[in-house]
A and B are shown apart, each in its own frame.
Chain A
Amino acid sequence: MAPKNKNPNGENVVPEVQQKKTQALILKSSDGEEFSISKSAAGLSVAIKNMMEDDCAGGVIPLPLVDGGTLARVITYLNKHAEDGASDEDKRKFDEEFLSGMEVDVLCDVALAGNYLDIRGLFHDVCQRIVNGMKNKSVEWVRKTFRIESDFTAEEEEQIKKEYAWAWEGVDSDAD
């Protein structure tokens, strides 16, 4: 389902027909985009479920920590997982496809949203994806990708490298 639901920017969007059919709740992103979602799909997020139960959901739930692009992705995920008749195998295949096209930046945004909205399955899968993507990478790749500046001196770094030289064997090249 993911590949069909893309806007011209290649981002996943919630199909309009589906929006009308299951309208029950509005989620509002940090940048003011509104998305409708069925209560059953929204309830897969423990955080949203709690907000619904506390009745602080006067129809619109503001999510100030999730931007529109990320929220659209999360909703696509929730809709699939709330779908009647979707088998575990369907969901597994969907998850695989859903995550496979995402760059690390996007994965990190989805991980943050999954953590914030308390969607354990999504959070876990996204983390695994990030882990698999980085486990054979170089230190330089990790710094660049996660925007971390080294605070080691060249000597300190050399010392760690010397101590565990074998851990530098079989590292992927940074070209990707």
Chain B
Amino acid sequence: MSSSVRQLLLPHELVFEILSWLPVSSLLRFKCVSKRWSSTIQDPAFVDVHMKRAIGSWVFRTTSDDPYESSAEQIYISRCRGLILEKRKGAQKFRLRNPSTREILHVPAPDENVLCCMRLCYITCTNEFKLVYPYTNGADENGGFKILTIGPNATWRMIEFPFLS
């Protein structure tokens, strides 16, 4: 193991293990180390392991950036896998925020007037985040759900709710 000609100090599975214990700020910086490190850090399997390990430190991590204490004009709505769904006060403007990486993603506005009944969820098998809210057509009480999958060209689609009709 200590031959002087060896290339890397650690095989990549140990790099994975060590990275999985680092705080997010270090990981964002270490994305610069190499393409391999960068792709590991962004890999959903890695994110999963990292999140499980970070749960213990979540409370400390967020004291300076509390998920429930959004900036003054934002209302906290829902939270899933480290992402926070927020709504702008007095407007139908929703956004996702990742407090660990400080990234913000604006969500296409829903067609209906959604108060705070929108939820964020994660689909493990497809590795997708989805937003969902129930709606009704005021007059005949038909309704269903509107769903949006987070990703490029995200749009709201409708799922009918047959037993209401």
B-facing residues in A117-169 (Cβ within 8 Å): 127-128, 130-131, 134-136, 138-139, 142-143, 145-152, 157, 160-161, 164, 166-168
Which of A49-57, A64-72, A80-88 makes up part of the contact surface? A64-72
Interface contact B18-A130, CB-CB below 8 Å: yes
The number of A-B residue pairs with CB atoms under 8 Å apart is 92
How many chain B residues touch A (Cβ–Cβ < 8 Å)?
30
A-B CB contact pairs (8 Å), 8 listed = A109-B1, A127-B14, A127-B17, A131-B18, A138-B29, A139-B29, A151-B35, A160-B31
Which of B19-27, B115-123, B128-136 makes up part of the contact surface? B19-27
Asked if A90 is at the interface of the complex by the 8 Å CB criterion, the answer is: no
Interface contact A157-B10, CB-CB below 8 Å: no
How many chain A residues touch B (Cβ–Cβ < 8 Å)?
41
**Using a CB–CB distance below 8 Å, which chain B residues touch chain A?**
1-2, 6-11, 14-15, 17-18, 21-26, 28-35, 37-38, 101-102
Interface contact B26-A134, CB-CB below 8 Å: yes
Interface contact A146-B9, CB-CB below 8 Å: yes
A148 touching B29 in the complex, CB below 8 Å, given contacts A112-B1, A112-B10, A112-B14? no
